[in-house]
Each structure stands twice: as structure tokens, then as C-alpha cells.
Amino acid sequence: MIEPRRYREVMATFPSGVVVLTAFGKDSLPRGLTVSAFCAVSLNPPLALACIEKTSNTLPAVQHAGGFTANILATGRFDGIAWRRPESDRGGPILEADSAAYAVCTLKETIEAGDHWILIGTVVEGAHDANVPPMIFSRRGYFGL
């Protein structure tokens, strides 16, 4: 088996975007965490997945709400304060001012994988702003396009 450090170095080399995955908790308050593990799964039906650690404080909110919003961060500082509700009552807060795009997902499947859960969501809403460049994350650095 590959050593944990080597595994991290290998995986950190793969460039990704940065997503803030949000959900509304039982108390109706916003929860969220940063994830790089986010990708498209299927076009028809439109499915996307995110991998989140089993210890994540955001997981109970995703389970309670039955969905989440993947906010694909824009280059620049993350403000994380301004948010609005999606049309779907299962999606999480949309961080419009900080995002280049977002996908509102209803939770379709939760698959156990090691120390993470794979959350598969059906994308029910979304938008992108072609004028806003997404943030790129690789080798622990953040870059613009």
C-alpha cells in the first residue's frame, strides 16, 4: 500500500477547483465545508458527486436537508457571508458573490468509501457567470486561470 504522505503528494498534484459545499442544518442555519473532491458523474440524469470526511460537521446538515449546494469558488478572497436560498428546499445556501458557478443538488445516494462518504446528488438548479474565473487548487496552492 502506498504511504499516506506519498498518496497525498500524488493526489495534491491533480489540479481541481475549490467548492464550498453548503447545506441548511436542523436549526435552519447554513453549514459548509471546502471540498476539492467534486466532479460530474452523469449527464442524463444530471448527477454530480462530492467526497466528504465522515467526521465532517456539515454531513448531518446534508442528511437532514436531503441535499446540498456546490459553490464553485471564484478566484480571489472568499467572503463567505453573503448567501441566498435556492429554489429547491433541499439545496444549501448559494454563495453568489464568491462563486463562478453553483449546482444545487438533491441527495440521491450516499456511498461509504474508507474514511469518507461519497455524496451523489441530482443537480436540480445551477448557473455560471462566464465573466468570473474559477479558482484552481493544486499542490496546496490557489491559482487563477
Ligand X SMILES: Cc1cc2nc3c(=O)[nH]c(=O)nc-3n(C[C@H](O)[C@H](O)[C@H](O)COP(=O)(O)O)c2cc1C
DSSP code of residue 84:
B
Count the alpha carbons within 13 Å of 108 in the hemisphere toward its beta carbon: 15
Site for ligand X in 103-142 (CB under 6 A): 137
In the bound state with ligand X, the residue whose beta carbon lies nearer, of 58 and 71, is: 58
Query: Residue 58 interacts with ligand X (CB under 6 A)?
Result: yes
Query: Residue 57 interacts with ligand X (CB under 6 A)?
Result: yes
Report the C-alpha gap between 120 and 107 in whole angstroms. Answer: 6
Among 36, 63, 75, 106, binds ligand X (CB under 6 A): 36
For the CA atoms of 18, 23, 29, 34, the dihedral, rounded to the nearest 10 degrees, stands at: -20
Site string for ligand X, 68-107 (x = CB under 6 A): ----------------------------------------
Contacts of residue 127, defined as CB under 8 A and 6 or more positions apart, other chains included, come to 101, 102
Q: How many residues does the chain have?
A: 145
| Cα–Cα nearest to 19, from 115, 99, 83, 85 | 99
Among 12, 25, 46, 56, binds ligand X (CB under 6 A): 56
DSSP per-residue letters across 64-77? HHTEEEEEEEBSS-
In the bound state with ligand X, the residue whose beta carbon lies nearer, of 13 and 131, is: 13
Query: Residue 35 interacts with ligand X (CB under 6 A)?
Result: yes
In the bound state with ligand X, the residue whose beta carbon lies nearer, of 44 and 72, is: 72
Which range, of 7-15, 46-54, 86-94, 102-110, touches ligand X by CB under 6 A? 46-54
**Site residues (CB under 6 A) for ligand X?**
18, 33-37, 51-53, 56-58, 137
